[in-house]
């Protein structure tokens, strides 16, 4: 089963393998591209380490994109894009990783109470082909 917050702006090329129940949250104005033969593994059984949470793909701002290349395997990992996260072909993302392109809030501010109102800084993340994390 696949949980989608929206079916708009999602392109899946084919042969997607889903184990368990990943969470895919692609907000209005953001995009998700999944290449051929990608695996999203959110299931603990049959995997050599303990997985603590499902795969989560989250593009939460207009213009944000997540691109996952062909034959890439992602295990129990959160990918959170505010701008752009690109993962190449034939990559392996091991269980319990966190990949973000934003620090979530500013690192310094005159008034500490203002931190809740900041959105942080984003920089694109690009993981090349044949990378293991």
Per-residue pLDDT at 50:
78
Percent of the chain with pLDDT over 70: 84
pTM: 0.86
Task: Determine how many CB atoms are found less than 10 A away from the CB of residue 87.
Answer: 23
Statement: residue 83 has pLDDT above 90: yes
Chain-wide mean pLDDT for the chain?
88
Question: What average pLDDT does this structure show over 15-29?
Answer: 94
The helices-and-strands tally (H runs, E runs) of the chain is 0, 14
Task: Supply the pLDDT for residue 109.
Answer: 66
| pLDDT tens figures, 32-79 | 999 999 999 998 877 777 778 999 999 989 999 999 999 999 999 999
Q: Could you give phi then psi for residue 2, rounded to 5 degrees? A: -120, 125
The pLDDT of residue 2 is above 70: no
CA R_g for the chain: 15
Domains and CATH numbers, the chain: 3-127 (2.160.10)
Token couple for 50: 């303990």
């Amino acid at each position: 089963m696949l949980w989608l917050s929206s079916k708009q702006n999602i392109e899946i090329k084919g042969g997607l393998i889903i184990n368990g129940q990943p969470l895919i949250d692609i907000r209005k104005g953001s995009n998700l591209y999944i290449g051929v033969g990608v695996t999203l593994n959110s299931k603990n059984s049959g995997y050599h380490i303990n997985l603590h949470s499902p795969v989560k793909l989250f593009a939460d701002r207009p213009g944000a994109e997540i691109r996952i290349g062909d034959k890439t395997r992602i295990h129990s990992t959160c990918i959170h894009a505010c701008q752009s996260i690109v993962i190449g072909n034939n990559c392996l993302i091991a269980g319990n990783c966190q990949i973000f392109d934003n620090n979530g809030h500013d690192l310094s501010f005159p008034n500490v109470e203002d931190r809740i109102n900041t959105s942080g800084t984003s920089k694109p993340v690009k993981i090349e082909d044949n990378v293991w994390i």
